[in-house]
Amino acid sequence: MDKGKAVMGTGRRWAVEFSDQSTVPSSRDILDPPGFSRASPEQDDSATSRQKKDAEANWKLQKAWEVAQSPFKNLMMMGFMMWMAGNTVHLFSIGITFSALWQPISALQSVGKIFEPFKDNKVELLMPKLVFLALNLGGLALGIWKLNTLGLLPTHASDWVSSLAPPQEVEHSGGGFVFH
Amino acid sequence: MAIRVYLLFLLFLSSAIVTYSLYEDQAGLMDWHQRYIGKVKHAVFHTQKTGRKRVIVSTEENVVASLDLRLGEIFWRHVLGTKDAIDGVDIALGKYVITLSSEGSTLRAWNLPDGQMVWETSLHSAQQSKSLLSVPVNLKVDKDYPILVFGGGYLHAVSAIDGEVLWKKDFTAEGFEVQRVLQPPGSRIIYVLGFVNSAEAVVYQIDSKTGEVVSQKSMEFPGGFSGGISSVSSDKVVVLDSTRSILVTIIFLDGGISFQKTRISDLVEDSGNAEILSPLLTNMLAVKVNKRTIFVRVDGEGKLEVVDSLSDETAMSDSLPVADDQEAFASIHHEGSKIHLMVKLVNDLDTVLLKESIQMDQHRGRVHKVFVNNYIRTDRSNGFRALIVMEDHSLLLLQQGAIVWSREEGLASVTDVTTAELPVEKDGVSVSKVEHTLVDWLKGHVLKLKGSLLLASPEDVAAIQEMRLKSSGRSKLTRDHNGFRKLIIALTRAGKLFALHTGDGRIVWSMLLNSPSKSEACERPSGISLYQWQVPHHHAMDENPSVLVVGRCGSDSSAPGVLSFVDVYTGKEISSSDIGHSVVQVLPLPFTDETEQRLHLIADTNGHVHLYPKTSEALSIFEREFQNVYWYTVEADDGIIRGHAMKSSCSGETADKYCFTTRELWTVVFPSESEKIISTLTRKPNEVVHTQAKVNTDQDLLYKYVSKNLLFVATVSPKGAGEISSVTPEESALVVYLIDTITGRILHRLSHQGCQGPVHAVFSENWVVYHYFNLRAHKYEVTVVEIYDQSRAENKNVWKLILGKHNLTAPISSYSRPEVFTKSQSYFFAQSVKTIAVTSTAKGITSKQLLIGTIGDQILALDKRFVDPRRTLNPSQAEKEEGIIPLTDSLPIIPQSYITHSLKVEGLRGIITAPAKLESTTHVFAYGVDLFYTRLAPSKTYDSLTDDFSYALLLITIVALVAAIYITWVLSEKKELSEKWR
């Protein structure tokens, strides 16, 4: 890959200018042909392009909502898997639980990226984002709940006491049978 | 959370592995076993035949054994029971070893070459009496060779061939005690000489064929006899009278008895109490008077005449016939660090047949016994070999001026054991090279790999085994990272201290406490117990650790005590002191001074306690804790337990400031008509408990009542204190108590109706497991009692615990009256038990195993999970996952969980456990007549790789992977290049 880049970097350059400079008549030496009106097509197209843009925005919003709701399916599936895995600690249940925790977290991290394609001035993305967040947080909560049911969260008194050493005793005594 | 995961992990491991067991080739890798016989009482040589030369010995540990005379190895050995003391041993018919035991009531014959029992005869015994075994050399009655045995008031003649009783004579009515059985050569009449009530000498002439009394003569001796007797010839014996100042020669020639009195003061000038010594010498006897040993010759008329006198510390052998109707005997006396062995003719004390001087280790003490045996040298002269028993019970064979072999038989009577660390490896000291070069190392591992892949040939297997035994420097004399190498300090009954290496069991050093160089003030101190005096760590690293041996100057409990401080690294005595007061109890306190010396209180018979070490620093530490130190005594005979507190400094002119008086605080009196104390037990003072909480399946919390001031007491009805099944179930009851030794409060009482001792118990953390006999079920039972603290049970709020708002770590006092409750459960156990111990680890995290010394002298490791009061018939799923075993009526005995595998620790008396540095591992040392040591990992070694982990396999895998990565990289480069050129 590097070699390719290197070739491109040091090689000869040439460019074709495709941009239309026709909107600037003064720069042109050649006159427009007779009967050609420079302004008219733009005015004509404006109605259709707006329509097109509206449709696109609608489509984007729809897609955004779809994406926002997609964790719900995931959530359902996770719930089912968790129920299948049972409440004992073994490889399967641990794997399920950690994937259930990881998925929402990674999704939450990349909220911006996921909704990037639907970014538009006209599309209100706040609601889909919020729904997406809520659903993922729900997934996260489900994972944490599962973690707790597996007994891996320190939510019981036993978790905090089991590391406490026995208390010191104030009095000391010794003795026993008399030596014979 | 980490702890939870850790615990779960542990639990997994422990539930996955139900039993501890090892493979055949692992035996002897971590464990060692040493066989002993004990202090020799009698020895009979068997050297006539041209086969293997051997000596038959019987010992104070009730062992009869046959030893190889060349090497001192045991050919065969039998350990009789503790109540089956051997009274006599002899060889009959040249092929049987005859032993008389149990006060003359059991006679056994063992095959001389292999030690198999040929016959056993129980002899009738009516009363307690002295017992006597006599194997006449050339007495033959109708093709039979009778053995004459006196014991229990009966004289028996037993056939040597099959052990049948030929005849018996009842002497119980007369109260006749046989002293000597004499047999004039060539006659079928035997003379039986004895005393009636120690005042009348009686001689019976008995027909050896029928047992009929041919004639009986008796004669009263005014004043009476004392015990000592010496038979000097076939018609004369010499005894001491009851005042111990007159020697009486009894002549019973031709059916008549006559006495001849000789005052000892006529023989020697300054006479005191005399004592007849045991050696059998012809026409001569040895008498100990006034710390001198005098030889007295007896002539034909019974006249006595002193022929020689020796110093007190001379040991002598019996006389033995040498050529030309001569008899010789051996004597050994000390001179400096040498011993002198002399063999002289009995008739002519000036003729010295042999004189040898041998350098002797000071720490063997004095010679106690000598047994001598002769052989014919190539030049037809007599050679002698002497078997000697030393003060430290060791057994040595001397021949041609050298010690041929020696056996440390003191280790057969270990009384107390502790452990000590080895020195830290110094920087400058290079590690002894275990694996020499990389090639050797690789070779070794390739061999191991072959072994694990089952490719090894028998020679390879042998090589692997040898390598394992030598490997990892397990017998080095420095501390190792895992704490596997330690010293076991053992105190023996002879008062000798041994340091054994855990790696291979060799004796690193040994030290006799009462070595002859010591002061005269305390002549024969006997060791009582052993304590860790100084265990340096942290700031006192430069000090050597030391142990404290508490001894006593006599057998009486009021005799003054002796303290001896011994350096553990060197085995040298740092100091010793006669402390000038008696020792009834030693209380190690949980405080140490600047140099890590532990404070000890020693209680005397007056109820005073003395503080050691006697330094002002120790005194200030003790005075700080003065109010909090208590002391209790168990008076088993009276059924009383008393608690004492410190009161004040001693007053009186002899008192020093380290002496304190005590006052009685409480007494627990058991009704003497219904309860008798048979066993008490406390927790080990150095036990480490990891946590105070016990978590149940449903995350429920129980707080353990972990207190060092708890005393477990077991009592039985006085009727039930005897043998098992000697009472009916209605008459016997076993009651166990848990008593707080600070306040005397009885925390728990549990009564077992129809049960009986002996009780063997083990107390650890918050539980007691004890073993007893159930008379109704005719089975042994094991009961577990777990103690929980009710008053802390309220501490269950998570937030309070998270924020640390609890009082769980605050110091507790017994005066705060903790409310406790107990859980208990009982199980049947199929075996009779000699002792129980429990594993102990460095942090107390690893699950525990009970180590049960069974009646078969083996040690069974039983998981604590089997004695868990939470066991139910149908545990729930969650309980099963936690490792709770369904309840069964009896505890399983899994053959693989015998940690002694195929070995036996004969005469097992005690099991000691000590933690290694590695949390998973514990040292186990069992002692009896034999010694056994092993390392145990109750939950397997979860914190280290096992010894047989194949490093070679790992290495090969890594190398192969690296090579594969390199090769694929090269290949991919090539491919890429060719792609580019296309």
B7 neighbourhood in chain A, CB within 8 Å = 162
Q: Calculate how close chain A gets to B682, using CA atoms only, in Å.
A: 9
All residues of chain A having their beta carbon less than 8 Å from the beta carbon of residue B811 are 167-170
**Average pLDDT of the segment spanning B349-376:** 85
Cβ of residue A179 closer than 8 Å to a chain B Cβ: yes
Share of chain B above pLDDT 70, in %: 92
**Chain A residues with CB-CB distance to B645 below 8 A:** none
| B499-505: average pLDDT | 90
Integer Cα distance of A172 and B733 in angstroms? 32
Q: What would the pLDDT profile of B868-925 be if each residue is shown by its tens digit?
A: 998 999 888 888 878 889 999 999 998 888 999 889 999 999 999 999 988 999 999 9
Inter-chain touch A173–B636, beta carbons under 8 Å = no
**What's the DSSP call for residue B274?**
E
For residue B591, give the chain A residue with the closest CA. Answer: A172
What are residue B786's DSSP bridge partners? Answer: B767, B823
- Which residues of chain B have a CB within 8 Å of the CB of A168? 811-812
Q: Do B707 and A172 touch (CB under 8 A)?
A: no
ipTM of the complex: 0.72
Closest CA in chain A for residue B640: A177
* Cβ contact B952:B446 at 8 Å: yes
Question: Would you state the pLDDT for residue B654?
Answer: 65
Check CB contact of A24 with chain B, cutoff 8 Å.
Answer: no
Mutation pick from B708, B712, B791, B803 vs chain A, by most beta carbons of A within 10 Å, is B708
Residue B5 has pLDDT above 70, yes or no: no
Least confident of B3-7, B142-146, B403-407: B3-7
Given this model, what pLDDT does residue B670 score? 92
In chain B, domain spans: 37-172, 513-669, 957-982
Record the tokens describing residue B270, joined without a space.
């300054």
Q: Is the pLDDT of residue A6 over 50?
A: no
- Kindly write down the DSSP assignment for every residue of B720-776, as one continuous string: GGSSTTSS-TTT-EEEEEEEETTT--EEEEEEEETEEEEEEEEEETTEEEEEEEETT
Domain ranges of chain A: 69-152
B93 three-class SS: coil
Nearest CA-CA distance, residue A60 and chain B, Å: 42
Mean pLDDT within B141-168: 84
List strand residue ranges (DSSP E) for B754-832, in order.
755-764, 767-774, 779-789, 820-829
More confident residue, B528 or B521: B528
- Nearest chain A residue to B5 by CA distance is A152
| The predicted structure's pLDDT at residue B850 | 94
Nearest CB neighbour to B4, from listed A151, A167, A168 = A151
Lowest mean pLDDT among A5-14, A58-67, B56-65, B166-175: A5-14
Contacts of A86 in chain B (CB under 8 A): none
- Give the pLDDT of residue B430: 40
Which range has the top average pLDDT, B352-356, B445-449, B854-858? Answer: B854-858
Q: Flag if B690 and A167 touch (Cβ within 8 Å).
A: no
CB-based contact B741 A173, cutoff 8 Å = yes
Å between B792 CA and nearest CA of chain A: 11
pLDDT value, residue A24: 55
**Interface membership of A160 toward B (CB under 8 Å):** yes
Q: Is the pLDDT of residue B839 over 90?
A: yes
Range with lowest mean pLDDT among A21-25, B74-78, B82-86: A21-25
Averaged pLDDT of chain B = 83
What's the pLDDT at B975?
95
pLDDT exceeds 70 at position B4: no
CATH superfamily, with its number, for domain B37-172: YVTN repeat-like/Quinoprotein amine dehydrogenase (2.130.10.10)
How far does the CA of residue A146 sit from the closest CA of chain B (Å)?
15
**Interval B82-92 mean pLDDT:** 87
pLDDT reported for residue A8: 47
Of A3-17, A120-134, B23-37, B727-741, give the range with the top mean pLDDT: B727-741
| Rounded alpha-carbon distances, angstroms, from residue A176 to A100, B245, B666 | 60, 44, 15
B682 contacts A176? CB cut-off 8 A: yes
Q: Do B625 and A160 touch (CB under 8 A)?
A: no
Q: Given a cut of 80, is residue B730 above it in pLDDT?
A: yes
Catalogue the long-range contacts made by A137-142 (C-beta closer than 8 Å, 24 or more residues apart): A137/A104, A137/A108, A138/A71, A138/A75, A139/A71, A139/A74, A139/A75, A139/A78, A139/A100, A139/A103, A139/A104, A139/A107, A140/A101, A140/A104, A140/A105, A140/A108, A142/A75, A142/A78, A142/A79, A142/A82, A142/A100
Mean of pLDDT values over B775-779: 90
A4 touches chain B (CB under 8 A): no
**B244 or B109, higher pLDDT:** B109
Picking from A66-75, B290-299, B564-573, B815-824, which range would have the lowest pLDDT averaged per residue? B290-299
B371 exposed, middle or buried (CB, 10 Å; 0-12, 13-18, 19+)? buried
| A153 near B CB under 8 A | yes
Range picked from B247-256, B536-545, B633-642 for highest mean pLDDT? B633-642
* Chain B nearest-CA residue for A156: B798
Residue B653 has what pLDDT? 64
Strands (E), B348-392: 352-359, 367-376, 382-390
User: Of B78-82, B182-186, B221-225, which one has max mean pLDDT?
Assistant: B78-82
- Asked whether B591 and B535 are in contact (CB, 8 A), the reply is no
Both tokens assigned to B43: 């020895």
Minimal Cα–Cα distance from B798 to chain A, Å? Answer: 5
Which residues of B are less than 8 Å from A89 in CB distance?
A: 8
Indicate yes or no: CB of B811 within 8 angstroms of CB of A151.
no
Radius of gyration of chain B (CA): 33
- Residue B177 has what pLDDT? 80
Q: Which pLDDT score, from 0 to 100, does residue B578 have?
A: 79
Contacts of B741 in chain A (CB under 8 A): 173, 175
- The pTM is what? 0.84
Percentage of residues of chain B with pLDDT beyond 90: 28
Tell whether A59 lies on the interface with B, counting CB pairs under 8 A.
Answer: no
Residue B203 in this model has a pLDDT that exceeds 60 = yes
- Averaged confidence pLDDT in chain A: 78
**Poorest-pLDDT segment among A111-115, A161-165, B298-302, B856-860:** B298-302
Give the model's confidence band at B787: pLDDT under 50 very low, under 70 low, under 90 confident, else very high.
Answer: very high
Contacts of residue B310, Cβ cutoff 8 Å, sequence gap at least 6: B292, B293, B294, B295, B331, B333
* Rounded-to-integer distance, Cα B153 and Cα B177, Å: 7
- Per-residue pLDDT tens digits for B574-615: 888 878 888 888 999 988 888 888 999 998 888 889 998 888
CA-to-CA separations, A127 to A123, B308, B378, B889, B965, in angstroms, rounded: 10, 122, 117, 66, 50
pLDDT tens figures, B479-489: 888 888 899 99
Chain A residues in contact with B689 (beta carbon < 8 A): 165-166
- Cβ pairs bridging A and B (under 8 Å): 149
pLDDT computed for residue B15 by the predictor:
44
Q: B871: which residues sit within 8 A by CB, 6+ positions away?
A: B825, B884, B885, B886, B887
Question: Of A70-79, A102-111, B141-150, where does mean pLDDT reach its minimum?
Answer: B141-150
B798 and A156 in contact by Cβ < 8 A? Answer: yes
Burial of residue B915 (CB within 10 Å: 0-12, 13-18, 19+) is: buried
